[in-house]
């Protein structure tokens, strides 16, 4: 059941990314090109997602436990520290250089392009490097 | 169909997926965290299934709707792709999240930390595109 739900959730998420235009790097870079010919369409993606997320999340997190697990695995960190800012800043630069954030990068593997695969491998190596350089504090929720 | 209906409907599907994962498995649908967890955590199974679903869902949406598959950017240097990918991986792990984890889920939980992260990566993304396209136009 848990496995099927993870698959189903991924399917819906991927379908949403493809429909929204987030897997199209031309659209993404056009959205980030505020000082050029700005393409505001992708603001509606965050709008649509937040409409659902903001209305349902506060209600769900009040539950004693989720439907299929013993407890919620939510991030405990509250602090706004140098790591959050540095990490966010580096991520944004990478996003602006190519047009992929992690979700669309993985989803675009469906298109079978070699450049997408190279991007994803480099992304995982970047994640590995962050651990090697001792730049992280939080542990994975297992 | 109005042009904004694709992004807004796609966004709503992303929101529904995030809410579904939270309500059932009690997890945040942060893709950067799920990718790293699929490799490094002890509980890999649901994460791999989610990622397989992500790729399959993208393919199915194109098949079902006939939306054009985005063309592969062809003229970019290999080093740029590698640098961009590595920065995304490095940054999301240091900053604990990306557009989905901080953006959709974090903002949905009214997390101030996620609001700060989302503002920072959107700003540096905008600045990067401005620099590449308009200041150093053409060299990348």
The tens digit of pLDDT for each residue in A28-76 reads 999 999 999 999 999 999 999 999 999 999 999 999 999 999 999 998 8
Instruction: Give the mean pLDDT of B126-139.
Output: 84
How much is the pTM? 0.95
pLDDT at A10 over 60: yes
Write out the residue range of the structural domain in which residue B33 sits.
5-135
Q: A39 to chain B, minimum CA–CA distance in Å?
A: 11
How many CB atoms sit inside 10 A of residue B13's CB? 25
Tokens of B47: 């994460």
Confidence of residue B138 (pLDDT cuts 50, 70, 90): low
How many CB atoms sit inside 10 A of residue A65's CB? 10
Closest CA to B76 of B133, B139, B128: B139
pLDDT of residue B75: 75
Tokens of B34: 């799920």
Contacts of B13 in chain A (CB under 8 A): 12-13, 15-16, 19-20, 48
Kindly tell me the sign of the dihedral angle through the C-alpha atoms of A11, A15, A16, A21: positive
pLDDT at B94 over 60: yes
Indicate whether B140 belongs to any domain.
Answer: no
Question: Residue holding tokens 């649509």?
Answer: A48
Helix or strand or coil: residue B36? helix
Confidence of residue A3 (pLDDT cuts 50, 70, 90): very high
Taking the Cβ of residue B44 and every Cβ of chain A, the question of whether any pair is shorter than 8 Å is answered with no
Taking the Cβ of residue A125 and every Cβ of chain B, the question of whether any pair is shorter than 8 Å is answered with yes
Dist CA A65 CA B95 (whole Å): 27
Tokens of B102: 């901080």
CB-hemisphere CA count at 13 Å for A71? Answer: 5
Give me the helices (H) in chain A, please. 2-20, 25-32, 43-60, 82-98, 102-107, 114-132
B14·A48 Cβ contact <8 A: yes
Q: Which of A6, A79, A138 sits opposite B49 (nearest CB)?
A: A6
* Predicted complex ipTM: 0.95
How many CB atoms sit inside 10 A of residue B86's CB? 23
Taking the Cβ of residue A3 and every Cβ of chain B, the question of whether any pair is shorter than 8 Å is answered with yes
B8·A47 Cβ contact <8 A: yes
Domain count along chain B: 1
Report A:43-102 residues touching B (Cβ under 8 A). 43-54, 56-58, 60-61, 63, 65-69, 71-75, 77-80, 83-102
Report B:71-110 residues touching A (Cβ under 8 A). 71-73, 76, 78, 80-100, 102-105, 107-110
CB B61 within 8 A of CB B67: yes
Dist CA B111 CA B139 (whole Å): 39
Instruction: Give the mean pLDDT of A94-107.
Output: 97
Confidence of residue B25 (pLDDT cuts 50, 70, 90): very high
């Amino acid at each position: 059941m848990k496995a099927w739900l993870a698959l189903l959730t991924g399917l819906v998420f991927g379908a949403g990314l493809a429909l929204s235009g987030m897997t199209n790097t031309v659209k993404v870079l056009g959205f980030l090109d505020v000082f050029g010919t700005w393409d505001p369409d992708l603001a509606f993606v965050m709008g649509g997602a937040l409409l659902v997320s903001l209305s349902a999340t506060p209600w769900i997190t009040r539950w004693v436990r989720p439907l299929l697990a013993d407890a919620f695995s939510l991030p405990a960190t509250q602090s706004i520290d140098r790591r959050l800012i540095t990490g966010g800043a580096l991520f944004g630069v990478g996003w602006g250089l190519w047009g992929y954030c992690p979700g669309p990068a993985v989803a675009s593997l469906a298109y079978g392009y070699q450049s997408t695969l190279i991007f994803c491998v480099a992304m995982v190596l970047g994640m590995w490097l962050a651990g090697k350089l001792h730049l992280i504090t939080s542990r994975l929720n297992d | 169909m109005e042009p904004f209906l694709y992004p807004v409907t796609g966004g709503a599907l992303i929101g529904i997926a995030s809410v579904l994962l939270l309500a059932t498995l009690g997890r945040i649908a942060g893709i950067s965290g799920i990718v790293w967890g699929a490799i490094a955590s002890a509980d890999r199974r649901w994460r791999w299934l989610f990622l397989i679903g992500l790729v399959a869902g993208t393919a199915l949406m194109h098949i079902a709707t006939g939306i054009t598959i985005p063309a592969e950017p062809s003229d970019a240097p290999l080093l740029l792709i590698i640098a961009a990918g590595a920065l995304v991986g490095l940054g999301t792990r240091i900053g604990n999240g990306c557009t989905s984890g901080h953006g959709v889920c974090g903002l949905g939980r009214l997390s101030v930390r996620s609001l700060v992260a989302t503002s920072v990566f959107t700003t540096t993304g905008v600045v990067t595109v401005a620099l590449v396209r308009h200041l150093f136009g053409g060299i990348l």
